[in-house]
Structure formats: structure tokens, C-alpha cells
């Protein structure tokens, strides 16, 4: 066995150009399949079936002694180190160096993996999960058979025909090892995921600056970085035998440092990482052959289907962990059933594809069969568009309900979603009334879920045509009107809680079946003492503003509007404008007089309609001023105004104290001053000014005007 030493940093070049006993490079590239070993125990001379991507153990063309003395070994030291935050199928396949036919076999489960290759099947469970993966790869040596061993006289070719399943033989193997350190942490909604990712990425980047493989990495962390790193848990997938798997970042650093030593002094613990497969048909025309390969477009299409189903599973997992699913059993069951049936469909899809691949590769089935499978998927209720719409709808509803549930919880209302739990309150003698904020848009049949079940179990369908996609029959998003109904009901429910003074009333949150009258929510009242069924709470209609009928110096008479059916009692509420607290009294007639009021004072008055549970709806406020006591005639002061010559010549004028809230009678050339109004009376006799309070003025001025008019007509 001869060995050639290559530079440790020189990349591997599989040219198989070995002096006089080497295969021609162009011939090797044309006929030899280069594929990843995926930690499978592939060795030189081992038979392989490319149709199933399966090893055929216990069958070789040469014994072990012949192989050991007639192979070329090239020492090849090469190390790779990468950090990634992606968790897609494409990214994992890239790091595993898996593509083409092998990736398809890996996706559908034809190839079973272990060791480092198990990383391919480790999918994130949640979009609220932060993941960063550190990948370490080392190559140690490259082994290949010489051309002399491929001569027909050196092989027992009858074994190929007797076996009948082999299509290729392993003619070259690259040895090394892989290690994947997968760091995960759950991220709360209050945390910035990009900052978490940036912190860990910055931390891991320090490992890339290690000067040599065996050196102790120097990782200097500040206090914030140390606190962040402790939140991450490590999962290890590798081809190295460890005394214990690392679970923290500190453990991972130590393991990473020791990885080169674990391969052994001469790399004796290395495993196959890549192999080259030589077609047996080149040695014997009777050998089984690989007839067809799957196009890259079809491989990408299959990958996309499986990726979408994986994403759906993750989003369902997030929904199940959210507040709404934990609060309402109906919502939880729908999401759980959807996740389960999508997984069943994924397994069914991969099983069908796993059956087709060997048939197509062996030439027994046309490649169009995969196209037909993909077309059937697009027409099924599991197509990407349907899955995305269903998930988007559930996520939106969950977010909307979560916001409302948080506020209901802050008010002290407990979620009690089990209808069977209602009777338990009958035994609580402290509770007389049970008030429920009931969501009515959750307990509805899921049409897509029904179609999916029928698709996987056609025997359960009454009409086979139900197996087709029906985009028109879908659970719908809540409309703005539905959301406004929830908002209004929440405001009513909140007011019921905040205004409730009775300890005998308990408030809960429920999910009840949908009705045409209440498409999104309603408020239910259980009157436990009457043992009657729940009734829908209807607040009284907003009453009209009270009408002022009469005003005196110490009373105000108002008229109230008629009541609605939900009104059990009416109240009149009033206060002085400058006060904060309202006075109230129950009324049983339409006209009510408020007495014992202060003269010359502004009063605010409103009406209240009281319904069940003392829920009151108030009218708008009206403002009225009580009159002042009338002054005697001698209190009126007649004065001469210096400004009369500028305002109206010799015309008499009257100064009146001005109240902004009161309407001033129409007059000609009225002049507004601070708190007075000068009114031009258009009369000629009197040159004086009459000054008085407004309420006194009307009586005095009215009599004075009549007198002046009478005088004027008598002269005419």
C-alpha cells in the first residue's frame, strides 16, 4: 500500500490520476457517481444499488487481503468550519453535501441516517425558537482501487449476476468526520429575535479565529454575552464518540477543542464521508443498471412540498402553545387535528414517492409518474395555498382573541370553556348571577379539515366528488363588523364588571356555538337562582336627552323620553356644572321637577336607562341655568353713557350683563363688551342707559319698550 502526502490546507481533487495503474480522469467523471456516504459503512469493493440508494452488504468482488494490498491511499487533511442560522432543507442538504438523487432518497426516507447525518432530520419545532448551527468537518484520507483490480480476470463476475440487485461498486472512499452543534433557545415575544441571533452569531464567530485545530479557543465574553449564552441549549450530532454529549455552550467549546484528538493519532476513527460508485454494466453488460435519473426541477418541487408541510407543522405547534389554544378546547382540537392529518398526508406522500423512485430509476415506470403525483398534490386539500390560508386565518384569529383575552383577564374574568363546569356554580351559594363573555366564532365546523379527512379516507365519503378542492367553502376571517361587535361587547362587559357592587355576581369567559344573531360574540347571563337557561344580555338603548319644560329660580322641570324593552328603571342625574359628583333619583313618570336648586346657577342634567344587573346607559347632557330672584325697581340704575354719542346718537340704549350660554335677543347695532351688551332700541325719547342683570332685564325692558311704542303711535 503506497501513500502520498498532501498539504493539510489543499482541497480534495478526485481526479483518480494515479501513475500507470490509474483510471482515466475523463472516464471517471463520465461514469462514476460521486455521492455523500451519510455515515453509512461503505467500503472499497462493496456493492451498491443506486435505484434504492441502498448498500448490499456481505457481497464484494475481492477478499479483504486483496483490497488491503491493492489500493491507493492518499493522506488528505482538510478542515471546514461554518456557522448558519438557517434551518431549511436546502441549507441542511448543503452542509451535508447532499444533492440530486441522494437528497430525494433522503427526503422520502429511502436512506436511513445516523451520526452526524441525523442533523438532517432535526427540524425546528417553533418559529419562536432561535437556532444557530456550528458545523465542523475534517477529512483525513482518500482510498481508491487500482485499474488492475477492475480487470475482469481479477473479479468473480458471476456474483454480480447471481445477486441481481447491484448497479455499482464502491471504487473510492474519502474518510473524515462531521460534527454539528445545534444551539436552540426559546424566544419570548417581548425579546428582539434579531438581537439574540446577532449576539450568538458574534459569539460563535470568535471560534473561526482559532489559529490551529488543536489550540484552546479563547472566548472572551462580557457579562451581557454570558447571560445570553446561558439561555441556549446544545444538541450534538457527530461522527465522534463522546463520553457525554454537550448541553451548554461551554460544553460545546470543550468538545470542539478535543475533536481532532478524537479521530485518533492516525485518523483510525474516521468514517466514510464520500464515495465514488463505478457502474457494473461497464464490467458486465448483464448487470443491473440505473436507467433514469430524476430532474433537478422535480427534486426541487418535491423538496418544496415537504418543506411546506414542515412549516405547517411548526406553525401549528406555535398555535397550540398560544393562549387561545390553551384557553379554548375547540380551537386547540382543530389545530391539533390539522397538524396530525397534515403529518399523515406527508407520510403518505413520501411513501408513494419512495415506491416510485426505484421503479423510475430501474426503467419500470416513466418519470411522468412523479409529475402526476405532484399534480394530484396541487389539486388536493393539502396544497400549499390551502395550508397557508388556513394557518393565516387561525393565526389572525388567535392574535385577535389573545389581545381581548389579556384585557378580560386584567378585569378579573376567568376562562371557563367547559360547558359541563357551569353546574358547579349551582353549589356555590355565594354566586347568584353568572355573567359570561362568550365567543361564538370558534365552535364551527372546519370545512378544510373535513375535506382533508375525506381525501385520506375516501371510503368515509358519501359523494366521491367531495374529494376535489372547493375554495368557496372555507371558514372565514372575522369582518370589521364582527370585530366591532366584539369591541362593543367588551365595553359592555367591562362596564358590568367595574360597576358591579354585588359579590354574588361572577364573571367568566366562554366559547359557545355560533348563531346567526351573534356571529362573533355575545354576553350571556346565567341566573342560577331561577335555574333557567342562559339568556343573552341586551343593554338598554341610549335614552334621548331630557327636554327642559320649565325653569324657576330654585327648580327645573324636565321631560324624559319613552323607554325601550330592556329598560327596567329610569333615573334622572344632575349636578351643578362646577361639581364632579352627580346626584341621582329614580323616576316613574315622564315629567319630573328637580327642586331645592340654587338660583342663577348652571346645572347639567341627563337621563339614565337601567337594565339587568344594574347596567345603566346615560343620555347626553343638557345644561340649564336657574333664574335669579327679581330685583325691585329701585335697584335699577339709570346712568348716562359717555359712549352713546358714538353708538346711536340720541337713541336710548340699554346695557345688559352678558351670559355666553344664553341667547341675546336680536337687535340692531348691538355692541358686545366684556360682560355687557349695549342694545340700540331705535327709540328717540330717552337719552339714558338702563343697566341691569339679564334675567331682571327682560321684564323691565319689555315694559319700557311697550311704553315707548305707545308714545310713538300717539304722536303719529
Task: Quick: pLDDT tens for 152-187.
Answer: 555 555 655 556 688 899 999 999 999 999 999 888
Q: Cell numbers for 87, please give them.
A: 434551518
CB 656 within 8 A of CB 610: no
Q: Report the 10 Å Cβ neighbour count for 709.
A: 11
Beginning with the edge strand found earlier in the chain, give each strand of the sheet holding 591-594 in spatial order.
Answer: 547-551, 556-559, 591-594
| pLDDT at site 504 | 84
Q: What share of the chain is helix, strand, coil (3-state, %, to 5)?
A: 40, 25, 35
- Across the range 87-91, mean pLDDT stands at 93
| pLDDT at site 460 | 64
pLDDT > 50? residue 708: yes
Judged by DSSP in three states, 651 sits in coil
- Across the range 237-241, mean pLDDT stands at 94
- The pLDDT mean for the chain works out to 80
Burial 229-241 (b: 16+ CB within 10 A, else e): bebbebbbbbbbe
Judged by DSSP in three states, 520 sits in coil
| pLDDT at site 420 | 63
pLDDT tens-digit readout, 47-68: 999 999 999 887 777 777 777 7
Superfamily assignment of 547-625 in CATH?
Immunoglobulins (2.60.40.10)
| pLDDT at site 676 | 47
Question: Residue ranges per domain, the chain?
Answer: 2-290, 301-467, 547-625, 633-715
pLDDT tens-digit readout, 553-612: 999 999 998 889 999 999 999 999 999 999 999 999 999 999 999 999 999 999 999 999
pLDDT tens-digit readout, 512-538: 888 778 888 999 998 877 766 788 999
% of residues, the chain, pLDDT over 70: 74
Cα distance between residue 552 and residue 572, in whole Å: 18
Position with higher pLDDT, 369 vs 59: 369
Position with higher pLDDT, 264 vs 640: 264
CA–chain centroid gap for 574, Å, is 49
| pLDDT at site 421 | 66
pLDDT > 50? residue 19: no
Position with higher pLDDT, 568 vs 716: 568
pLDDT > 60? residue 647: no
Cα distance between residue 671 and residue 571, in whole Å: 43
**pLDDT band with cut points at 50, 70 and 90 for residue 15:** very low
Lowest-confidence pick of 545-554, 555-564, 621-630, 706-715: 706-715
Q: Which stretch of DSSP H or E encloses residue 195? A: helix 193-205
- What angle (nearest 5°) sits at the alpha carbon of residue 309, between those of residues 308 and 315? 90
Cα distance between residue 374 and residue 302, in whole Å: 8
- Across the range 345-364, mean pLDDT stands at 94
pLDDT tens-digit readout, 286-331: 888 888 889 999 999 999 999 999 999 999 999 999 999 999 999 9
| pLDDT at site 76 | 82
**pLDDT band with cut points at 50, 70 and 90 for residue 438:** very high
**pLDDT band with cut points at 50, 70 and 90 for residue 691:** very low
Lowest-confidence pick of 13-22, 72-81, 84-93, 138-147: 13-22
pLDDT tens-digit readout, 457-494: 987 665 545 444 444 445 678 889 999 999 999 999 99
Q: Report the 10 Å Cβ neighbour count for 583.
A: 11
pLDDT tens-digit readout, 324-336: 999 999 999 999 9
pLDDT > 50? residue 355: yes
| pLDDT at site 589 | 92
**pLDDT band with cut points at 50, 70 and 90 for residue 234:** very high
% of residues, the chain, pLDDT over 90: 47
Amino acid at each position: 500500500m503506497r501513500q502520498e502526502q498532501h498539504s493539510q490546507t489543499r482541497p480534495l481533487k478526485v481526479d483518480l490520476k494515479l501513475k500507470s495503474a490509474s483510471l482515466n480522469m475523463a472516464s471517471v467523471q463520465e461514469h462514476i457517481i460521486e455521492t455523500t456516504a451519510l455515515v453509512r459503512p461503505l467500503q472499497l469493493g462493496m456493492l451498491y444499488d443506486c435505484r434504492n440508494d441502498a448498500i448490499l452488504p456481505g457481497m464484494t468482488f475481492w477478499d479483504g487481503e486483496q483490497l488491503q494490498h491493492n489500493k491507493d491511499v492518499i493522506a488528505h487533511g482538510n478542515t471546514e468550519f461554518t456557522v448558519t442560522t438557517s434551518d431549511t432543507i436546502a441549507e441542511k442538504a448543503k452542509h451535508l453535501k447532499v444533492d440530486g438523487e441522494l437528497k430525494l432518497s433522503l427526503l422520502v426516507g429511502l436512506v436511513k441516517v445516523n451520526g452526524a447525518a441525523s442533523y438532517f432530520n432535526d427540524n425546528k419545532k417553533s418559529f419562536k425558537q432561535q437556532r444557530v448551527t456550528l458545523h465542523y468537518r475534517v477529512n483525513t484520507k482518500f482510498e481508491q482501487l487500482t485499474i488492475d483490480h477492475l480487470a475482469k480476470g481479477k473479479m468473480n463476475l458471476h456474483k454480480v449476476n447471481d445477486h441481481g440487485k447491484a448497479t455499482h461498486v464502491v471504487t473510492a472512499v474519502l474518510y473524515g468526520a462531521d460534527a454539528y452543534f445545534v444551539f436552540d433557545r426559546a424566544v419570548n415575544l417581548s425579546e428582539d429575535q434579531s438581537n439574540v441571533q446577532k449576539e450568538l452569531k458574534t459569539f460563535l464567530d470568535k471560534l473561526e479565529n482559532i489559529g490551529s485545530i488543536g489550540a484552546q479557543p479563547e472566548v472572551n465574553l462580557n457579562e451581557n454575552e454570558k447571560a445570553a449564552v446561558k439561555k441556549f441549549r446544545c444538541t450534538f450530532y457527530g461522527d465522534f464518540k463522546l463520553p457525554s454529549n454537550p448541553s451548554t455552550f461551554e460544553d460545546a467549546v470543550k468538545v470542539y477543542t478535543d475533536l481532532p484528538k478524537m479521530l485518533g493519532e492516525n485518523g483510525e476513527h474516521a468514517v466514510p464521508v464520500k464515495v465514488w460508485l463505478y457502474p457494473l454494466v461497464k464490467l458486465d453488460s448483464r448487470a443491473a443498471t440505473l436507467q433514469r435519473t430524476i430532474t433537478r426541477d422535480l427534486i426541487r418541487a418535491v423538496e418544496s412540498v415537504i418543506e411546506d408541510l414542515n412549516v405547517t407543522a411548526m406553525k401549528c405547534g406555535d398555535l397550540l402553545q398560544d393562549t387561545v389554544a390553551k384557553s379554548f378546547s375547540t380551537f386547540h382540537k382543530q389545530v391539533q387535528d390539522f397538524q396530525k392529518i397534515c403529518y399523515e398526508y406527508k407520510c403518505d406522500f413520501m411513501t408513494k414517492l419512495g415506491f416510485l423512485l426505484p421503479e423510475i430509476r430501474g426503467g419500470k415506470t416513466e418519470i411522468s409518474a412523479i409529475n402526476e403525483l405532484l399534480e394530484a398534490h396541487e389539486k388536493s386539500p393539502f396544497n400549499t395555498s390551502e395550508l397557508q390560508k388556513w394557518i393565516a386565518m387561525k393565526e389572525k384569529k388567535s392574535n385577535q382573541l389573545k389581545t381581548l383575552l389579556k384585557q378580560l383577564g386584567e378585569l378579573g374574568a376567568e376562562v371557563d370553556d367547559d360547558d359541563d363546569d357551569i353546574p358547579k356554580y349551582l353549589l356555590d351559594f355565594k354566586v347568584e348571577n353568572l355573567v359570561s363573555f362568550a365567543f361564538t366564532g370558534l365552535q364551527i365546523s372546519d370545512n378544510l379539515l373535513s375535506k382533508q379527512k375525506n381525501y385520506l379516507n375516501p371510503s368515509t365519503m358519501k359523494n366521491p366528488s367531495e374529494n376535489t378542492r372547493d375554495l368557496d367553502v372555507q371558514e372565514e376571517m372575522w369582518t370589521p363588523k364582527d370585530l366591532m361587535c366584539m369591541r362593543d361587547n367588551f365595553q359592555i362587559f367591562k362596564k358590568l364588571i367595574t360597576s358591579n357592587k354585588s359579590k354574588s355576581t361572577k364573571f367568566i369567559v366562554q366559547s359557545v356555538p355560533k348563531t346567526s344573531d351573534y356571529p362573533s360574540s355575545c354576553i350571556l347571563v346565567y341566573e342560577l337562582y331561577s335555574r333557567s337557561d342562559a339568556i343573552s344580555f341586551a343593554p338598554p338603548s341610549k335614552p334621548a336627552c331630557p327636554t327642559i319644560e320649565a325653569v324657576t329660580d330654585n327648580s327645573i322641570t324636565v321631560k324624559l323620553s319613552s323607554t325601550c324593552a330592556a329598560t327596567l328603571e329610569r333615573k334622572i342625574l344632575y349636578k351643578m356644572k362646577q361639581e364632579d359628583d352627580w346626584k341621582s333619583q329614580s323616576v316613574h313618570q315622564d315629567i319630573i321637577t328637580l327642586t331645592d336648586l340654587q338660583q342663577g346657577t348652571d346645572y347639567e342634567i341627563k337621563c339614565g336607562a337601567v337594565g339587568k344587573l344594574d347596567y345603566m346607559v346615560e343620555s347626553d347632557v343638557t345644561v340649564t341655568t336657574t333664574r335669579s330672584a327679581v330685583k325691585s325697581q329701585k335697584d335699577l340704575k339709570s346712568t348716562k353713557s359717555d359712549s352713546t354719542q358714538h353708538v346711536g346718537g340720541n337713541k336710548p340704549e340699554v346695557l345688559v350683563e352678558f351670559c355666553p350660554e344664553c341667547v341675546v335677543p336680536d337687535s340692531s347695532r348691538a355692541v358686545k363688551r366684556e360682560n355687557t351688551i349695549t342694545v340700540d332700541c331705535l327709540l328717540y325719547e330717552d337719552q339714558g342707559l338702563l343697566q341691569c342683570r339679564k334675567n331682571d332685564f327682560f321684564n323691565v325692558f319689555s315694559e319700557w319698550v311697550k311704553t315707548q311704542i305707545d308714545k310713538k303711535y300717539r304722536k303719529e
